[in-house]
DNA sequence: TTTATTTAGTTGTTTAACTAACTATATGCC
DNA sequence: GGCATATAGTTAGTTAAACAACTAAATAAA
């Protein structure tokens, strides 16, 4: 009986991701309050484009752990908001490369600051070494299930 | 500068809840494979009714961290699936008490076993004391943001 | 070179989350 | 009692996730 650390009553919040839901809601509220009209999901796509612009939709799938239809629609909405542009790849006409617009580039600093603020609030009072352990456990969980 | 344990590159997966998403997907797949036609969200409502039957919709909101419209629709769908029944409260006609059907009662054991299996897979190779720390950190995160 | 297979992306359908606006009942105050 | 306010739940509209079925282009195999 391995890992039966999770008694019935405690299993719930782990599965439902109470903590990460709370983090996402908090950050979304910060976006709204700041008048930034983007969703957390859209932000998560921009996040990877800020790291490297011109990724394909498939690369965005891998980076964001979403399936292809989800990325199609997120890119649809981001394009409607004039935050990204689909550009067909030269060498392979199946591929769309996604490029940030000027507008989206301007969002980076402000949204990243808000994200950092959310994490600081979330982790207030938690010692660094415990955060480290928590991160490691969550990474193992992810790897175990992949 | 408190808690700047999160360098830019690591902030993403915490916010997006990679791990809990992976857990939820894994459990949903187990439900599908077992031929159980319920969603994780529906299961999370049943979960609290198994603990105590006849909760009001508002109590389910609090228990599941969802808002009222979400619960209205989840109960709609659970009612269509014949898994719960709305019963108006005697003393207050605004309130619906939600009761499990026989069918839903039968789902408890099987789904809880699958949930436990998912958690065991997820936490394989993680020492008990680290799981404990992780749980505590996530609880603090939740409390900090509430 | 023609056919089969794989890859990239889209479309349709169902379920769910969030916000805002709404109805109905209950409670508090004068 | 009558009016204001709070509470329980519903409805409508937008965004997103998961799955299946699909189109188009590229690659592999015959």
Residue B7 located in a structural domain: no
| Alpha-carbon gap, residue B143 to A26, rounded angstroms | 12
User: Å from B68 (CA) to D3 (C1')?
Assistant: 28
| Alpha-carbon gap, residue A56 to A98, rounded angstroms | 6
Residue A105 located in a structural domain: yes
User: Å from B127 (CA) to D21 (C1')?
Assistant: 44
Residue A87 located in a structural domain: yes
Residue A3 located in a structural domain: no
Residue A120 located in a structural domain: yes
Residue of B nearest to A45 (CA): B12
CATH number of the domain encompassing residue B51 = 1.10.10.10
Buried b (16+ CB within 10 A) or exposed e, A53-91: eebbbebbbebbbbeeeebeebbebbeeeebbeeeeeee
Residue A65 located in a structural domain: yes
B69-118 tens-digit pLDDT = 999 999 999 999 999 999 999 999 999 999 999 999 999 999 999 999 99
Share of chain A above pLDDT 90, in %: 87
State the nucleotide closest to A89 in CA–C1' terms.
Answer: C8
Residue B128 located in a structural domain: no
A31-49 tens-digit pLDDT = 999 999 999 999 999 999 9
Angle at B45 between CA B42 and CA B46, to 5 degrees: 90
Domain with A64 in it? 8-145
Q: How many domains does chain B have?
A: 1
Residue A73 located in a structural domain: yes
User: Å from B42 (CA) to C7 (C1')?
Assistant: 35
Pairwise CB contact (< 8 Å): A16 & B44:
yes
CA distances to A10, A123, B93 from B146, in Å: 19, 13, 30
Task: Name the residue with tokens 């957390």.
Answer: A40
Task: Name the residue with tokens 């009001």.
Answer: B56
Which nucleotides in chain C lie closer than 7 A to a protein CB?
Answer: 7-13, 15-21, 24-27
């Amino acid at each position: 009986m391995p890992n039966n650390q999770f008694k019935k009553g405690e299993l719930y919040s782990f599965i439902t991701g109470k903590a990460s839901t709370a983090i996402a809601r908090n950050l979304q509220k910060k976006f709204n309050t700041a008048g930034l009209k983007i969703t957390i999901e859209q932000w998560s796509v921009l996040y990877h484009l800020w790291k490297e612009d011109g990724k394909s939709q498939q690369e965005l799938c891998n980076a964001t752990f979403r399936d292809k239809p989800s990325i199609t629609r997120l890119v649809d909405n981001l394009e409607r908001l004039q935050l990204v542009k689909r550009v067909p790849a030269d060498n392979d006409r199946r591929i769309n490369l996604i490029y940030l617009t000027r507008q989206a580039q301007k969002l980076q600093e402000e949204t990243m600051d808000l994200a950092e603020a959310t994490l600081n609030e979330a982790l207030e009072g938690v010692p660094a070494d415990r955060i480290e352990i928590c991160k490691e456990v969550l990474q193992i969980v992810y790897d175990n299930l992949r």
